[in-house]
Amino acid sequence: MSRPRIGITTSYEHDYQMLHGAYVRAIEQAGGLPLIVPLLDTPEAAADFAALLDGLVITGGPGIVRGLIGSLPEDLPPVDPARDTTDTLIYTAMEGKPMLGICYGMQFINAQAGGTLYGDLTQQHNGSFEHSASRGGQDHPVRLIPDSRLARIFQQPELVVNTYHRQAVVDIGVGLRVAATSPDGIVEAVESVDGRRIGVQWHPERMGDSSAALFEAFIAQCRAD
Domain ranges for the chain: 5-224
Answer yes or no: are the C-beta atoms of 101 and 199 closer than 8 Å. yes
Q: What is the mean pLDDT of the chain?
A: 93
pLDDT > 80? residue 27 = yes
pLDDT > 70? residue 113 = yes
The pLDDT assigned to 137 comes to: 66
pLDDT > 70? residue 52 = yes
The Cα-based distances of 169 to 107, 117, 156, 214 in angstroms read 6, 5, 23, 21
Q: Per residue in 123-167, pLDDT tens? A: 777 777 777 667 776 788 999 999 999 999 999 999 999 988 888
- In single-letter form, the type of residue at position 36 comes to I
Q: Check if 165 is active-site.
A: no
Choosing from 103, 131, 140, 188, which is the catalytic residue? 103
Q: Check if 203 is active-site.
A: yes
Nearest alpha carbon to residue 188 among 135, 98, 125:
125
Q: CATH says 5-224 is which class? A: alpha beta
> Among the listed ranges 34-48, 111-125, 205-219, which one has the minimum average pLDDT value?
111-125
Q: Per residue in 62-88, pLDDT tens? A: 999 999 999 998 888 999 999 999 999
Choosing from 131, 140, 165, 203, which is the catalytic residue? 203
The pLDDT assigned to 31 comes to: 98
Q: Per residue in 91-109, pLDDT tens? A: 999 999 999 999 999 999 9
Choosing from 131, 188, 205, 222, which is the catalytic residue? 205
Give 118's pLDDT tier (boundaries 50, 70, 90).
very high
Q: Per residue in 53-68, pLDDT tens? A: 999 999 999 999 999 9
Q: What is the pTM of this model?
A: 0.95
Q: Check if 103 is active-site.
A: yes
DSSP output for 158-198:
EEEE--B-S-EE-SPPTTEEEEEE-TTS-EEEEEETTSSEE
